[in-house]
Amino acid sequence: MNQFGKGAILLAGAGRMGSALLKGWIAHGLEPERIFVQDPLISEEMRDYCREYGISTADIQSTGTPPEVIVLAVKPQVMDAVLPSLARISGPGTVLLSIAAGRTISSIAAHFVQDMAIIRAMPNTPSAIGRGISALYANQTATPDQSRQCEALMTAAGETVWLESETLMDAVTAVSGSGPAYVFLLAECLAAAGEAAGLPKDLAAKLACATVSGAGELLHQSDLSPADLRRNVTSPGGTTAAALGILMAEGGASAMPSLNDLMTEAVMAAARRSHELAS
């Protein structure tokens, strides 16, 4: 089986994540003539991109053949308005791949008459540069071939992992889905701290951003764990150790919570909110 299958692929929603996936598919060799993009609010930039590569933005119903895959990339708040129309064009062999945050498979399946094959995926924003990671979960109707096909579509945006239970999606959302924002905040805070220490604002920002992105790339390329990399740059009694004594709240002398405590609290808050949105 071709990794992307053989039939038509309908991308419903061409926002940031949908557009990132689309460009990844083209870069990985998916035939443009198999792709249909439907989004009433599609940007001129994406419309030009589709025109350049010969990707159809016409109604897929005009082909008379149900799509092999529907990739649902619309915002969660408009899904209930979009799903009935997708149900009408789906066929018995169609699999729906949803990347909408906070919407469970059961809430999506309620819009379909037949026992629909549905796979849920949670990508993150580094998917825009092919460095994302997506967690996937398939319902029992999805076949192994459909699961492999959907995984291939998500691999075009980065790494993939499979979950044993859909209930883990809330934690995935809190760690990798929302996680890039935590890293961006770290760069903000590091720059602000550098400015407070006397650095010019522009220089502090440049140093902070380069340090965070460089450390991330080192982590990506290294076989060592984050803890090992941290220990390797921490000399006993040195400057890094002094800073980590604050961030890790070593010794228990400080009333401030450690970075680990704050991160755990933040992830738990995000997971709770994900569950609330899904409910």
Verify that 211 and 143 share a domain, yes or no.
no
Cα gap 233→58, rounded to integer Å: 55
**Which of 149, 169, 189 finishes a domain?**
169
Verify that 268 and 236 share a domain, yes or no.
yes
Please name the residue that has the structure tokens 């579509």.
153
Verify that 134 and 272 share a domain, yes or no.
no
Verify that 47 and 164 share a domain, yes or no.
yes
Are residues 32 and 55 in contact, defined by beta-carbon separation less than 8 angstroms? yes
Verify that 32 and 143 share a domain, yes or no.
yes
pLDDT at 270 > cutoff 60: yes
Cα gap 36→8, rounded to integer Å: 7
**Which of 144, 169, 194 finishes a domain?**
169
Lowest pLDDT segment from 182-191, 214-223, 250-259: 250-259
**Domain that residue 103 falls in:** 9-169
**Which of 169, 198, 216 finishes a domain?**
169
Verify that 153 and 188 share a domain, yes or no.
no
pLDDT at 198 > cutoff 90: yes
Domain count, the chain: 2
At 97-150, the pLDDT tens digits run 999 887 899 999 999 877 899 999 999 999 999 999 999 999 999 999 999 999
Verify that 76 and 102 share a domain, yes or no.
yes
Q: pLDDT band at 251, cuts 50/70/90?
A: low
pLDDT at 49 > cutoff 80: yes
Q: pLDDT band at 252, cuts 50/70/90?
A: low
Cα gap 115→132, rounded to integer Å: 31
C-alpha R_g of the chain: 22
Residue 229 within any structural domain of the chain = yes
Distance of CA 250 to the CA centre of its chain: 34
**181-206 average pLDDT score:** 98
Residue 1 within any structural domain of the chain = no
Verify that 157 and 187 share a domain, yes or no.
no
**Nearest Cα to Cα of residue 153 among 42, 7, 40, 53:** 7
Residue 231 within any structural domain of the chain = yes
Are residues 132 and 124 in contact, defined by beta-carbon separation less than 8 angstroms? yes
Verify that 142 and 265 share a domain, yes or no.
no
Q: Which residues pair with 181 in a beta bridge?
A: none
The string of DSSP codes covering 62-107 is GG-S--SEEEE-S-GGGHHHHHHHHHHH--TT-EEEE--TT--HHH
pLDDT at 1 > cutoff 60: no
